[in-house]
Amino acid sequence: MASFENLLVELDAETGIQTITLNRPTKLNALNAATITEIGQAMQQALNDKAVRGIILTGSGDKAFVAGADIAELAAIPSEALARRASEQGQEVFCMIEESSKPVIAAVNGFALGGGCELAMACHMRIASDTARFGQPEVNLGLIPGYGGTQRLAQLIGKGKALELLLTADMVKADEALRLGLVNHVVPAAELLTFTRTLLSRILTKAPLALGLCIDSVNALYSDTRHGYQVEANAFGQCFASNDFKEGTQAFLEKRPAAFKGN
């Protein structure tokens, strides 16, 4: 397993859960270019490792998941072309998370602002501590979100409310984020990782192929180049040819828990 300067990566061999912790506590885990690159490398490593079955993304410390982008680094970008490329590179990494065939859950342990909110939204689910805060404050800097935030925020909470948060730069507390549909659950801060691991462990008792195909089929809804219903039909057919389907149906008929091994 590769080592990283800005991430802590830990695999629980028993559960197959890999925890990726953004580890820049003195910067409130702010995203710089190096950290984004490392997130992409860690995700690729996790996707290639058969021992990894699911992934938790979180931040070090109790103040921030990711408090935003590294503003000093952004301010030093010398040209429009390089700024556009920085946005595209961030989008590529965050799309890798969104398109992961292995479930990825964000455990949001404090501020998730700017790029941090975008990173959380790229995950398949978000569990927030009761101290979490979410927002896209880029307009305060004369910017807009650059890592997919304008797209995913509208997908998750609807166009009108997304535009309100984007245009006002308002932060929302965890309970409001839950009401809006931005997060799946809110739990006490001390229980955040335990709750997230328990949820992911329950998901990982299901058929691995089917999990990945559910993710892909839902993602197809938001694609301009794929027909969601056809993606679903193709995936449904693919499941029928799998060992997981044989095991799942046999276990149901025998009234026993399924022991999925993947295909």
With tokens 């938790």, the residue in question is 56
Is 247 in the active site? no
Widest distance between CA atoms in the chain: 65
Query: In what order do the strands lie in the sheet containing 17-22?
Result: 7-12, 17-22, 54-59, 104-108, 125-129, 185-187
> Per DSSP, what are the bridge partners of residue 10?
19
Catalytic residue among 38, 88, 138, 164: 138
Is 176 in the active site? no
Catalytic residue among 118, 164, 232, 247: 118
Taking the C-alpha atoms of residue 199 and residue 123, their distance in angstroms, rounded to an integer, is 14
By CB atoms closer than 10 A (0-12, 13-18, 19+), residue 154 is middle
Tokens coding 247: 């095991």
| Catalytic positions | 118, 138
